[in-house]
Amino acid sequence: PLPEPVGDSAPPVDEHPSRIATVLNHLRRSADARITHPRRFRIQQLRALEKMLEEHLDDFLQALNEDLGKSPTEAKFAEVDVVRAEIDFALRHLAEWMDSTGVKVPLALQPAMAKIEPRPLGVVLIIGAWNYPLQLVLAPLVAAIAAGNAAVIKPSELAPATSGALAKFLPLYLDERVFAVIEGGVDTATELLVARWDHIFYTGGERVAKIVAMAAAKHLTPTTLELGGKSPAVVDNHSPATAKRLAYAKFMNAGQTCVAPDYILCIGDATPLINRLGQAITSFYGKEPITHPDFGRIASSQHFERLLAMLEQGEVVFGGEYDEETLRIAPTIMRNVDLDGTLMSEEIFGPILPVIEVKTFEEALEFIARRPSPLAAYLMSESPRLQSIFSDRVRAGAIVHNAPLAQMVIPTLPFGGVGASGMGSYHGKHGFDRLSQMRSELNKTTVVDTLSAIYPPYSWAKRKI
Ligand code: NAD
């Protein structure tokens, strides 16, 4: 049974409400009573979330291993620690973020006080994807709590163990009057999207993002859409460090990372780079990566089949082994690939790395410009000139020189896409701002009526003002 909500402003809208409608009515009433607004409440809830991650760390690591074969070390730093860093950062800066900012008033309107005050939006719906099933619902939740909102999280049904663990533990720590986990697949998501929210925060693919945006439009609800795309890596510097950084960023979580380098555009002969990438893979995951405990598996058999079809679209020059039973595909490098096949038209989202040779840097820039804007674009080069041209010419959610993925864990950098890779961004204060209303407030006394100069009738003298 749910605890009694506070406030009595909104009666239930439905005589026989579904569980979703009941939970929502409940949350809406408590949110309307502003229980999420005080700073003390936000801090207490953020600490409670941190406590949940601390006390149930093993449960979450086990769930992530069950869902995606993630090694506990990788699951801890790429999921749990990312959320904990977001919580710590928010706790340290919340007072300053919540502060209103006084702004200048034009002389003609003085004396007056004007300020911008961040206000909570209300009730936020957070829909997450399966590839980082913990981080992708909890990091937005940190932003929602910090900004003083109530929230419902709907984890991905494709990571059922993590979704189950969240549904089991979150209500034991967070205030159930204003935070809820609703588990389920497409039907549940569809039902959730019918309701009126104050913001919908969606992470996932482009096709569903359009469904979310259309449902949100019915209520004019603002959305944040964290999508994906084919993030390119242009390689000018073929050093061993370059190969290691690329292999690490690509094959973490078996390539199922939204900002993983999707493909490489190699300036000049790719053979030395391919050799070094192979060496890097072997040094990370040994000679038989598909049995290595630090190398993850593919989320579902449907994604597995989709990836196997991609292996046919070019020449496999490294890896290529797979195991249907354990849904594992070895880190694979391909060259001479078909540019019209799914390998190069869809986001790969798996451990297959196509390397495409281009003759010049200019050719690489043109290749990227002909495709939809990705979530990130990587340049592996020490040349300041190339770096500057790359930053200037490439349109992507993030431009990163030489450190693929690292942009994700810097809480002062906004994380989000542009164009086909999404809209809106979060992490740190960017998440707080995204889930707040930046409200204008003006206060001008009537004791001295300095506005009388503008009232009608508009005499000749007033027309000259
Ligand atoms: P998914 O299948 O888990 O779907 C995402 C969410 O949408 C799930 O919660 C699911 O239940 C819901 N959903 C599915 N069909 C729906 C429908 N018809 N109506 C409403 N909701 C529905 O994940 P996915 O889409 O396969 O995710 C992979 C994509 O997500 C990739 O493109 C990846 O790049 C992107 N991604 C982006 C980020 C980011 O932060 N930008 C992070 C991870 C993944």
Dist. CA 279 → ligand 1 center (Å)? 33
d(CA 246, CA 251): 8
Q: Is the CB of 423 under 6 A from ligand 1?
A: no
Say which of 74, 79, 176, 258 is annotated catalytic. 258
Q: What is the average pLDDT across 345-374?
A: 97
Give the Å distance between the CA of 34 and the centre of ligand 1.
Answer: 31
Check pocket membership of 59 for ligand 1, CB cut-off 6 A. Answer: no
pLDDT at residue 6 is higher than 70 = no
The residue-averaged pLDDT of 279-301 equals: 94
Share of the chain above pLDDT 70, in %: 95
224-244 pLDDT, tens digit each: 999 999 999 999 988 999 999
**Global pTM?**
0.93
Can you spell out the DSSP letters for 363-380? HHHHHHHTSPPPSEEEEE
Q: How far apart are CA 34 and CA 148, in angstroms?
A: 9
Q: What is the ipTM of this complex?
A: 0.95
- Residue 129 alpha carbon to ligand 1 centre in Å: 4
For 159-218, what is each residue's pLDDT tens digit? 999 999 999 999 999 999 999 999 999 999 999 999 999 999 999 999 999 999 999 999
- Rg of the Cα atoms in the chain: 25
How far apart CA 80 and CA 86 sit, in angstroms, is 10
Nearest residue to 130 via CA among 181, 185, 180, 169: 185
Give, in order, the Cα–Cα distances in Å from 310 to each of 193, 257, 304.
34, 17, 10
CB 86 within 8 A of CB 428: yes
Q: How far is the CA of 86 from the centre of ligand 1 (A)?
A: 22
Instruction: Check pLDDT > 80 for residue 67.
Output: yes
Answer yes or no: are the C-beta atoms of 420 and 373 closer than 8 Å: yes
Runs of H (alpha helix) within 135-239: 135-146, 160-173, 186-194, 206-218
Q: What is the pLDDT of residues 24-45, one digit of tens each?
A: 999 999 999 999 999 999 999 9
Ligand 1 pocket, 396 CB below 6 A?
A: no
Beta-bridge partner residues of 203: 226
> What confidence tens digit (pLDDT) does each residue in 92-136 have?
999 999 999 999 999 989 999 999 999 999 999 999 999 999 999
Q: Which of 227, 199, 198, 204 is nearest to 128 (CA)?
A: 204
Of 335, 163, 209, 318, the C-alpha closest to 265 is: 335
Pairwise CA distance, residues 246 & 232, whole Å: 11
* Known active-site residue 226: yes
| CB of residue 154 inside a 6 A radius of ligand 1 | yes
Evaluate: CB of 158 within 6 angstroms of ligand 1: yes
Strand 352-358 to 332-335 pairing: parallel
| Residues forming beta bridges with residue 355, ordered by sequence position | 264, 335
How far does CA 33 lie from the centroid of its chain?
29
**Active-site residue, from 226, 325, 362, 441:** 226
Q: Is 260 touching ligand 1 by the criterion CB < 6 Å?
A: no
Mean pLDDT in the chain? 94
Are 279 and 316 a contacting pair, CB within 8 Å? no
d(CA 55, CA 141): 18
